């Protein structure tokens, strides 16, 4: 007898401790000290000066140090973010245009920081060819596995339970992998016309087949729905090269030796048959990501045996326009990206997020990226202790304490108990990119779709950075915490591309 499992883990709060649920602890301390100092100034020096100091200090604290909204950003940070986007629009770095008149090597080059990534051919520990992506600017190498999982709805519950346990085991192993910076799972889905599939079926019909067989096949083909779902799943892992070997080639060899182990663990978790992606597959991925309508073209090339090789370095868009704070225009379509801030506190089963990962009728393409950042074993205990103290302080400062607050407060203690049994901590997040036609009506439909599939999660739009967010959800290993220290990459690479076109 099978039993449906309940999932959810323990969402451990991160960041600064907040009094009353919104006021950072350091700001509370500074504010309290300011009140005391202002009272002394009022009593012994001047009431006007004391009130002025109090008002000025509280204004600075509220504007510069108290976060607002789901993004946990202060007013000053939001203004600076908007100002940077305005500056990028003014200097042209928010717009990228490829030139077909440039030299052959740089034709349809990649935009921004993607221009700094190079492909490296190698062989993994099982002797299979592997193509790594070398992120030179951040000293990282990534490898992506193209997976073919079977949907949970077609599997017995016992097998689903086993796969979920195996997936948890894979996540557990991430913090034990030396040099691993992060991992991501990407589920890319779209709905397309069933006509090409029907034509392919009829083309394969034996001309000498009996009339009855031909009639049955024709009726079965006519029974196909007008649209079919196409879902691709990717697993990407990235390692810090300098942590593996001082020699670059030796570090690449270390990475490739690790691939079979992760592929095996993911297979046990339900990834199905998987293989490491090659250069042309990366090229097709980018080519269709910039315009989903090209998927039919790529499928027809594969069906007809046409060898059209699109190298990764030459698979860039014809143009990108990120001047709108939320919508990115690219190659005749548009995209938006949202980011999860707080996971769903409710009970989670394997059916909870079916709408999130399934193909949608309301957008051209939907790409869901889940990020996992392993925490070194040496830092996990201190992380739990810090989170536990913060949760207790926040819970004690709130007037109203509901069931969700109680669950949040108890999570660190529960996680600590699980760690004594061998559990590990892994930071995780989620981003969703939807691509749609560049019309106001299609944008409204896409926004409604995002609100529908993100129900239960606390989320926000990736405003003022639409082009960076779009590329982060691709299975290339653009981990936000890795690239956060080099924000100038987008502008510098864009300027480099402009120089290349000018000299073509």
In a domain, 292, yes or no: yes
Give the model's pLDDT for residue 298: 84
Mean pLDDT of the region 420-449 = 89
- Give the percent of the chain with pLDDT over 70: 77
H or E element: which one contains 467? helix 466-472
In a domain, 213, yes or no: no
- The residue range of the domain holding 77 is 69-187+227-502
For residue 491 the two structure tokens come to 């502008």
pLDDT score of 490 more than 60: no
pLDDT tens sequence across 380-394: 777 776 666 666 656
Distance CA 381, CA 100 (A): 55
H or E element: which one contains 92? none
For residue 175 the two structure tokens come to 């913090």
In a domain, 220, yes or no: no
At 478, is the pLDDT very low, low, confident or very high (cuts 50, 70, 90)? Answer: very high
384-418 core/surface letters (b: 16 or more CB in 10 A; e: else): beebbebbeebeebeeeeeeebeebbebbeebbee
60 and 88 in a single domain? The answer is no
57 and 159 in a single domain? The answer is no
Final residue of a structural domain among 35, 66, 97: 66
CA 54 from centre of chain? 43
For residue 450 the two structure tokens come to 């995002």
pLDDT score of 3 more than 50: no
Is the CB of residue 246 less than 8 Å from the CB of residue 490? no
Higher pLDDT pick, 215 / 277: 277
Give the model's pLDDT for residue 337: 97
Is the CB of residue 359 less than 8 Å from the CB of residue 367? no
29 and 79 in a single domain? The answer is no
Contact partners, residue 414, CB within 8 Å, separation at least 6? 10
pLDDT score of 64 more than 80: yes
Give the model's pLDDT for residue 433: 97
Mean pLDDT check: name the lowest of 151-160, 195-204, 404-413, 488-497. 488-497
60 and 73 in a single domain? The answer is no
- Give the percent of the chain with pLDDT over 90: 34
29 and 149 in a single domain? The answer is no
At 11, is the pLDDT very low, low, confident or very high (cuts 50, 70, 90)? Answer: low
Distance CA 323, CA 326 (A): 9
Give the model's pLDDT for residue 404: 58
For residue 366 the two structure tokens come to 């939907």
270 and 313 in a single domain? The answer is yes
SS3 annotation, 314-383? HCCCCEEECCCCCCEEECCEEEEEEEEEECCCCCECCCCCHHHHCCCCCCCEEEEEEEEEECCHHHHHHH
Final residue of a structural domain among 9, 44, 66: 66
54 and 94 in a single domain? The answer is no
Give the model's pLDDT for residue 501: 40
407 and 345 in a single domain? The answer is yes
155 and 290 in a single domain? The answer is yes
Higher pLDDT pick, 75 / 397: 75
- What total number of domains does the chain contain? 2
Give the model's pLDDT for residue 1: 34
Average pLDDT over the chain reads: 81
Is the CB of residue 81 less than 8 Å from the CB of residue 460? no
Mean pLDDT check: name the lowest of 38-52, 143-157, 299-313, 424-438. 299-313
In a domain, 244, yes or no: yes
In a domain, 6, yes or no: no
27 and 175 in a single domain? The answer is no
Higher pLDDT pick, 24 / 35: 35
pLDDT tens sequence across 416-430: 666 666 677 788 889
Higher pLDDT pick, 260 / 151: 260
Mean pLDDT check: name the lowest of 250-254, 404-408, 490-494. 490-494
56 and 134 in a single domain? The answer is no
How much is the pTM? 0.83
Final residue of a structural domain among 66, 95, 125: 66
At 118, is the pLDDT very low, low, confident or very high (cuts 50, 70, 90)? Answer: very high
């Amino acid at each position: 007898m099978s039993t449906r499992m309940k999932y959810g883990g323990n969402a451990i709060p991160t960041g600064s401790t907040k009094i009353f649920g919104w006021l950072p602890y350091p700001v509370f301390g500074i504010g309290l000290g300011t009140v005391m100092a202002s009272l002394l100034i009022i009593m012994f020096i001047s009431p006007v000066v004391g009130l002025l100091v109090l008002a000025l200090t509280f204004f600075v604290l509220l504007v510069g140090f108290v976060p607002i909204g789901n993004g946990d950003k202060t007013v000053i940070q939001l203004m600076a973010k908007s100002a940077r986007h305005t500056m990028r629009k003014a200097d042209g770095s928010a717009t990228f245009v490829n030139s077909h008149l440039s030299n052959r090597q740089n034709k349809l080059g990649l935009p921004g920081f993607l221009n700094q990534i190079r492909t490296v051919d190698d062989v993994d520990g099982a002797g299979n060819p592997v193509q790594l992506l070398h992120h030179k600017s951040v000293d990282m190498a990534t490898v992506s596995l193209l997976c073919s999982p079977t949907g949970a709805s077609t599997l017995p519950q016992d097998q689903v339970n086993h796969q979920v346990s195996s997936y948890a085991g894979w996540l557990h192993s991430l913090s034990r992998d030396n040099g691993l910076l992060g991992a991501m799972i990407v589920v890319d889905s779209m709905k397309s016309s069933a006509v090409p599939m029907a034509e392919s079926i009829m083309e394969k019909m034996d001309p000498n087949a009996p009339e009855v067989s031909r009639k049955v096949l024709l009726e079965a083909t006519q029974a196909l729905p007008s649209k079919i779902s196409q879902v691709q799943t990717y697993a990407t892992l990235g390692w810090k090269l300098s942590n593996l070997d001082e020699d670059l080639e030796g570090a690449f060899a270390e990475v490739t030796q690790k691939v079979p182990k992760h592929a095996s663990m993911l297979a046990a978790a339900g990834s199905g048959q998987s293989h490491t992606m090659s250069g042309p597959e990366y090229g097709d991925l980018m080519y269709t990501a910039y315009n989903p309508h090209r998927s039919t073209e790529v499928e027809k090339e594969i069906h007809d045996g046409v060898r059209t090789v699109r190298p990764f370095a030459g698979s860039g868009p014809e143009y990108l326009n990120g001047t709108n704070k939320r919508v990115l225009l690219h190659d005749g379509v548009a995209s938006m990206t949202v980011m999860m801030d707080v996971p769903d506190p409710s009970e989670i089963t394997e059916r909870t997020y079916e709408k999130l990962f399934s193909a949608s009728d309301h957008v051209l393409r939907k790409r869901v990226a889940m990020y996992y950042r392993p925490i070194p074993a040496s830092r996990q205990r201190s992380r739990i202790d810090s989170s536990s103290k913060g949760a207790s302080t926040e819970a004690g400062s709130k007037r109203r304490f509901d069931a969700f607050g109680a669950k949040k407060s108890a999570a660190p203690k529960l996680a600590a108990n699980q760690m004594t049994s061998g559990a590990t901590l892994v930071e995780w997040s989620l981003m969703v990119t939807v691509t749609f036609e560049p019309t106001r009506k299609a944008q409204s439909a896409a926004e409604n779709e995002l609100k529908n599939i993100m129900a239960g999660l606390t989320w926000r739009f990736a405003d003022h950075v639409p082009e960076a967010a779009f590329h982060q959800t691709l299975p290339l290993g653009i981990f936000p915490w890795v690239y956060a220290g080099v924000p100038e990459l987008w502008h510098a690479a864009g300027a480099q591309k402009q120089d290349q076109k000018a000299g073509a």
